[in-house]
Structure 1
């Protein structure tokens, strides 16, 4: 059976953010499935809910599992959701997990500040898109520069999604994850705040910090991130050959 990689995007963006990874894996003959969460991308007209998000991830994972072992790869908000999903008491059919830019507990003052900033951006002309475009233009390589916005930006769902994250029990979920796991952060990522806690809760997980890289590690260093995916796939293959 062929390994399958399921990708979960971050807040505001969509499946399009994974273009570089999907193209890389497809060229190698590996199944690659980038989904859109409710209220994002092709589902922009829907309302974001945690139940809907988990149903979307579960549906994609279980469908992929019919074709081969599953590597779940998720970024930012998608990473937080996928930690909760992978760390369920009844584990889903996930064989390995990469959680990028999401080693933070979304509660308290930190979450409140983030929501306040997001609402402030939404009040700017064009909802601050000119500033977003300027930052992406200056930080991302040409090959991935347009990927984050190619599926549109879910402005209207941002505060709804952020508010919902506060009920996640990531402390319990991280400790429950028993599959090979990698936490991947950029050196300048603002969501590294609980990095040590996450690795203490799950000592078998590996932490990879990419130097001179922001929160957008998947797009800012696409070749490095593809190499991490390669590492995860090789680890899965070794586990299968050993067990067989």
Structure 2
């Protein structure tokens, strides 16, 4: 059976951030769904909630699992929420998991500082878009530059979404994950703070650090990230071929 892929975006952005990955997976022959979480992208008018985010991911995963093994891929906030989802006491039908740019525990001073910076940025003229555009113009390649914000930016959802992350017990969730897990970080990612702890706690995990890359690893180095998707899918295909056939 063909590996199915579900992609979960990070905070403020939307499913459009995955356009390069969606195109690559289509060429590879793997069905893929990039979801929009509540309050983001095509669902900007909805109110964000953690339960709504879990429900969105679960609906996509449960549907994909009817057609084949599932690789779940989450970036940043989407990765943190997906860690909690995959690590439920009753495991969902996820066969492999990529957690990108999300190896930090979102609590305490770190989360408070991040929220304060986000609120300060949002208070700038034009909600800081002039600075965001300048930064993205300098760091993202032409092939993905338009994708990151094509679905709009969820400014009004940002603080609520960040605040909701504080209830996640990521270490407990990681201990319950028993499927292949790949942590993928950019070398200069600010959310690398707890990557060694995450790697120690997780049962079947690998850490891949992409050199000369920021937090936006999927968009900044799309070719590298797509190659890593291929590694994960190939690993799941190999595991599937080794499973005994039912008679």
In 2, the alpha carbon distance for the partners of 1:207 and 1:65 equals 26
Question: What secondary structure sits across from 2:208 in the alignment?
Answer: strand
Partner SS state of residue 99, structure 2? strand
After TM superposition, the structure 1 = structure 2 runs for residues 213-224 of structure 1, keeping only pairs within 5 Å, are 213-224=213-224
**Could you tell me which residue of structure 1 aligns to residue 211 of structure 2?**
211
Measure, in 1, the Cα distance between the counterparts of 2:66 and 2:72.
Answer: 14
Task: Point out 4+ residue stretches in structure 1 off by more than 6 angstroms.
Answer: none
* Equivalent runs, 1:101-120 vs 2, <5 Å: 101-120=101-120
Q: Equivalent residue of 1:192, what SS?
A: coil
Q: Secondary structure at the match of 2:182?
A: strand
Between the aligned partners of 1:149 and 1:18, the Cα distance in structure 2 is 11
- CA-to-aligned-CA distance 1:150-205 (integer Å, 9 cap, x gap): 00000000000000000000010011110000000000000000001000101520
The question of whether the paired residues in 1 share the 8 Å contact of 2:178 and 2:203 is answered with no
What aligned pairs does 1:90-105 form with structure 2 within 5 A after superposition?
Answer: 90-105=90-105
Q: Indicate the SS of the match to 2:71.
A: strand
* Distance in 1 of aligned mates of 2:186 and 2:200: 19
Tell me how far apart the structure 1 counterparts of residues 203 and 42 of structure 2 sit (CA, whole Å): 38
2:139 aligned residue: 139
1:230 partner SS:
helix
Q: CA RMSD in A?
A: 0.7
Q: How does 1:1-244 map to 2 (within 5 A)?
A: 1-244=1-244
For residues 140 and 209 of structure 1, the distance between their equivalents in structure 2, rounded to whole angstroms, comes to 18
Aligned length: 244
CA contact (8 A) 2:182 2:206 kept: yes
TM-score, normalisation: structure 2: 0.98
SS at match of 1:74: strand
Question: Unaligned 5+ residue runs, structure 2?
Answer: none
1:95 CA displacement: 0.4
Q: Secondary structure, in 3 states, of the residue corresponding to 1:207?
A: strand
How far is 1:68 from its partner?
1.1
For structure 1, which runs of at least 5 residues remain unmatched after alignment? Answer: none
Deviations 1:31-61 (A, max 9, x none): 0100000000000000000000000000000
Contact persistence 2:101–2:215 (CA under 8 A): yes
- Distance across 1 between alignment mates of 2:186 and 2:175: 23
